[in-house]
Structure 1
Amino acid sequence: MTLKLIAAIAIVSATPALALASPSCTAEPKSKWMSEDAMKAKIDAMGYKVKTFEITGNCYEIYGKDKSGNRAEVYFNPVSGAIAQKGD
C-alpha cells in the first residue's frame, strides 16, 4: 500500500515538469488553427525539411533539418505559424 502511494506521489510530482517541457504556443481553440497542410507548406517555405510533424500540447512541432542541414526540433504557433521555440 505504501509503495503504491509513493508511486502515485512521484507521478503527480513529475507531471508539472513534463508539462513545462514544451512551450505554450496559443490559447486559441483548434478551430482557429491553420490546417496541417497549410502549416507544412509554411514550414517548407521557411527552409525546413520535415521528418516528423505532430501536435504537441497547443503547438505544431516538427523534427527534421533546417536549411543548413542541421537537426531541428521546432515548435510553431498553430494560429500564426510563427516559431514559438527551437530545441535541439
Structure 2
Amino acid sequence: MPFLLAALLAALAALSPPVLSAPALAAEGSCTAAPRERWMSREAIERRAGEAGYREIDMVAVEGSCYALHGRTVDHLNAEILMNPMTGDVMHAETYR
C-alpha cells in the first residue's frame, strides 16, 4: 500500500503547475533576461505605472532585473511595485497605509 500511495503522489506532483508563480519570481527580482540598454526608460515606466493606477511615484530603482517603484494608489494607499522593464507589466505589488 505505501508504494501505491508514493506512486500516486509522484504522479500528482508531475501534473501540478510549477510552485513559483510569476509574482513569486518577480518578488525575487527576476523580470527579464534582456540587457538594460533595451529596457524602457524610467519616465516610460512611470507612465505605465500611472496607467496601471499608481500615482505620485516618488522612487524608481532597479531591483534584480525589474524596476522597483514606490508610489500611491488612487485610494491614497502606499504601494511598492515591481514592473517588467521590457513590457511595463506589473509583476508584483503590495499596498499598505
User: Which TM bucket (shorter chain)?
Assistant: 0.5 to 0.7
Question: Runs (4+) of structure 1 moved beyond 6 Å?
Answer: none
Identity %: 30
Partner of 1:40: 46
Larger Rg: 2
Measured after TM superposition, the shift of residue 29 of structure 1 is 0.9
Long gaps (5+) in structure 1: 1-19
Partner of 2:82: 75
Provide the secondary structure at the position in 1 that maps to 2:58.
strand
Amino acid at match of 1:42: R
> Displacement of 1:74 after TM fit?
0.6
What is the rounded CA distance, in whole Å, between the counterparts of 1:68 and 1:22 in structure 2? 27
- CA distance in 2 between partners of 1:60 and 1:48 (Å): 14
1:21 Cα deviation after fit: 5.5
SS in 2 for 1:41: helix
Q: Partners of 2:27 and 2:74 in 1: how far apart?
A: 25
Alignment TM-score, normalising by the size of structure 2 = 0.62
Q: Corresponding residue for 1:58?
A: 65
What is the RMSD computed on CA atoms of the aligned residues?
1.8
- TM-score relative to the length of structure 1: 0.67
